[in-house]
Amino acid sequence: MQTVAGIDFGTTNSSLGVLEDGKSRAVNICNFGSDEKTLRSALFIDEEHEIFVGQQAIKEYVDSGGYYGRFMQSLKAFLPSQSLSEARVYGRRYTIEHLVSLLLSEIKRLGEESTNQPLDDVVLGRPVFFSENEENDRLAQKRLEDAARRSGFKSIQFELEPVAATLAYLESLPKGTEQTILMSDFGGGTSDFTVMNLRAGADLSFEQKRERVLAIDGVYIGGDTFDGRLMWEKITPNFGRYVKYKSMTGQTLDMPSNIVRTLCEWHKLPFARTRETQRNLREIRMTADHPEQIENLEYIIWENKGFAIFQAIEQAKKSLSSELESTIQFRDRQLNISEHVTRSEFEEMLSEDIGAITACVKRCLQTAKLNADGIDKVLLTGGSSYIPAIRDIFETGFGSEKVIVLDAFTSVAQGLALSVR
């Protein structure tokens, strides 16, 4: 039986499932030094037009100091955009389809390397709607299909991502069992919610499945948001957040927050590396009450250390899912950061985000014309589903007996492989 690939092409991370002898499994497609199973949905193109993909793209970007190349991520978000069809990098034109195909080609290569089988058939995940505009929605799927064909896939099918994520669960139910499910998918940049009425073993067309989607909603809050909260609250004080300095007229001023806030998105740090910023920081440091903190800020910007610090933040965040306290530790030749953080502190940092997610879930139920009693099961996937405060939203709102936590990073991809028709 031919091996089938299921690819969950995500905004932040992508994952691969394969169907072998009727069974689906996840394939580790991390391509550089990490225990992640996923591939970062990122590209780096250097001045010589050498292309790096995934975790290797991040490594090259960081090693280059952000000076010598173009870093790209979140390509999925541009698929439905008619106004953005290409990018020009050092005088060369790259279409959106070409850029996406570079990621899909790497996933295909790593999958074939792992299975020792050609991967010619693929089921690609797609959201219920790429765009509310029907024309843009069709454009996004066509671009993704063209990218897959360009990557060497011969047979290409599509499945709704939230439907795919439920397939392994539905297979455990007696055939014909019908349930109303709230699917909650927590990604790096967004949290997405789908209410669906599904039947185990039902052989439905793509359009019939979409008709069984009762409501969709989402918020631009995800794992990257939570990392940014930790950076802002616990780490930025090491980089001058509370520094005071003197103006040329002798007035005491607070550190400009726009410079410090740049730290909360590591990939934007090179954009802060301007002569104006350099001059401003030098002038602030001369009269600052804590000049060493400004030196730290100058160092992290010009040496492009943001990603390394965020790795330390992410490790602490993960440990807070199972422990009541953790420490964000980062040591470098100039920096020695050690910040203690408790789970209760972390939850307080996320209070507004938790409120926004809770409101979004309620809005999704209202759209579906249901209350909590009308939901049979709540399925959670994505890295942030491990955060106790996130789980508590659903266990409190629906009852812990209804909540099932799926594989955080590969449930959609494994379901896609299972959904081959």
Task: Write the DSSP string, 79-127.
Answer: TT-SS--EEEETTEEEEHHHHHHHHHHHHHHHHHHHHSS---EEEEEE-
Residue 355 placed within a domain: no
147 and 15 part of one domain: yes
In a domain, 93, yes or no: yes
Instruction: Kindly give the confidence (pLDDT) of every residue in the chain, 421 residues in length, as a single tens digit, with 9 standing for 90 and above.
Output: 588 999 999 988 999 999 988 888 999 999 877 667 899 999 999 989 999 999 999 999 888 876 778 898 889 988 999 988 888 888 899 999 999 999 999 999 999 999 999 999 999 999 888 888 999 999 999 999 999 999 999 999 999 899 888 887 887 888 889 999 999 999 888 899 999 998 888 777 768 887 889 999 998 899 989 999 999 999 999 999 999 999 989 999 999 998 899 898 887 777 787 888 889 999 999 999 999 999 999 999 888 888 889 989 999 999 999 999 999 999 987 889 999 999 999 999 999 999 999 999 999 999 999 999 999 999 999 989 999 999 999 999 999 999 999 988 899 999 999 888 6
Which tokens is 364 given? Answer: 């999704």
Q: Is residue 377 part of a domain?
A: no
Decide if 345 is inside a domain. yes
Exposure b/e, 86-102, CB count within 10 A at least 16 = b: ebebeeeebebbebbbb
Regarding whether 251 and 147 lie in a shared domain, the answer is no
Is there a contact between 100 and 9 (Cβ–Cβ < 8 Å)?
A: yes
What confidence score (pLDDT) does residue 62 get? 85
Answer yes or no: do 32 and 148 share one domain: yes
Query: What per-residue confidence (pLDDT) applies to 203?
Result: 78
In a domain, 174, yes or no: no
Point out the domain boundary residue: 330, 349, 368.
349
Q: pLDDT (tens digit, 9 = 90+) per residue, 152-210? A: 999 999 998 998 888 878 878 888 899 999 999 998 888 999 999 988 887 777 688 87
* d(C-alpha 272, C-alpha 285), whole Å: 17
Residues 126 and 253 in one domain: no
Same domain, 123 and 254: no
Please check whether residue 177 lies inside any domain of the structure. no
| Domain boundary residue, one of 153, 171, 192 | 153
In a domain, 340, yes or no: yes
On whether both 148 and 38 belong to a single domain, the answer is yes
Q: Do residues 146 and 8 both lie within one domain? A: yes
- What confidence score (pLDDT) does residue 22 get? 80
Residues 270 and 143 in one domain: no
Return the pLDDT at 68: 79
CATH of the domain at 75: 3.30.420.40
Query: Is residue 252 domain-shared with residue 344, that is, in the same domain?
Result: yes
DSSP assignment of 357-389 equals: HHHHHHHHHHHTT--GGG-SEEEEESGGGGSHH
Global pTM?
0.85
Number of domains in the chain: 2
pLDDT 10s digits, 63-111? 887 677 889 888 998 899 998 888 888 889 999 999 999 999 999 999 9
Q: Kindly state whether residue 57 falls inside one of the protein's structural domains.
A: yes
C-alpha span between 66 and 269 (Å, rounded): 8
C-alpha torsion angle, residues 72, 76, 82, 86 (rounded to 10): 30
* Listed residues 120, 153, 186: the one ending a domain: 153
- Domain interval for residue 314: 233-349
pLDDT of 35 reads 66
Residues 46 and 148 in one domain: yes
What backbone torsions phi and psi does residue 188 show, to the nearest 5 degrees? -70, -40
pLDDT score at 416: 93
